[in-house]
Amino acid sequence: MNWFNYYGLIIMAIIMIPNIIYAFLHKNNSAGAFNNKAVIIAEQIGRYGCFVFMIFNIPYTYFGFWFDYALIVYLSVNGALCLVYLMFWTICRNNNGKLKALSLSILPSCIFLFSGIVLANIPLAVFAVVFAVNHILISYKNSLSKVMHSIIAVA
């Protein structure tokens, strides 16, 4: 792989398709209950950094696969993680609980972090950690507020 990672582009497309469909179908339901600006900004920085560095390899920050058969491992593990991610999207599409929130935030975080490590891509690994911590926190906090909102609505 040179400066452009075609596999990373395909992985990003697989991850983004259900998100785009969800955003299209739920246009008015995009605001979350968790409003910590610093965490939200850090998550967005991590997210877009992961998007960029999954696809583009910057010289001297990207060292490529560092062990034998790494490409096979990279494609196999990321393929399995993407498949599980799509399964959770399908299974939890009508659910707003903690399972959906955590699975749909932990799985892409694992994809980004794993890719950064296997590719020895330093910026991707750093942005993946920033994204993972903040995205999982936001997803968890938003799922708690939805559960509390549904409990209040029933009472």
From its phi and psi, is residue 21 left (phi > 0), alpha (psi between -120 and 50) or beta?
alpha
Distance between CA atoms of residues 53 and 48, nearest Å: 9
Q: Could you state, in order of their start, the residue ranges of all structural domains in the chain? A: 6-16+35-154
- Coil vs helix vs strand at 58: coil
Contact 134, 39 (CB under 8 A): yes
Output phi, psi for 95, to 5 deg: -110, 140
Residues 6+ apart with CB under 8 A from 32: 138, 141, 142, 145
Confidence of residue 64 (pLDDT cuts 50, 70, 90): confident
Residues 125-137: b if buried by 16+ CB within 10 A, e if exposed: bbbbbbbbebbbb
Distance between CA atoms of residues 142 and 23, nearest Å: 16
pTM of the model: 0.88
Confidence of residue 29 (pLDDT cuts 50, 70, 90): low
Structure tokens belonging to residue 91:
């299974």
Query: What pLDDT digit, counting tens, does each position of 98-116 carry?
Result: 899 999 999 999 999 999 9
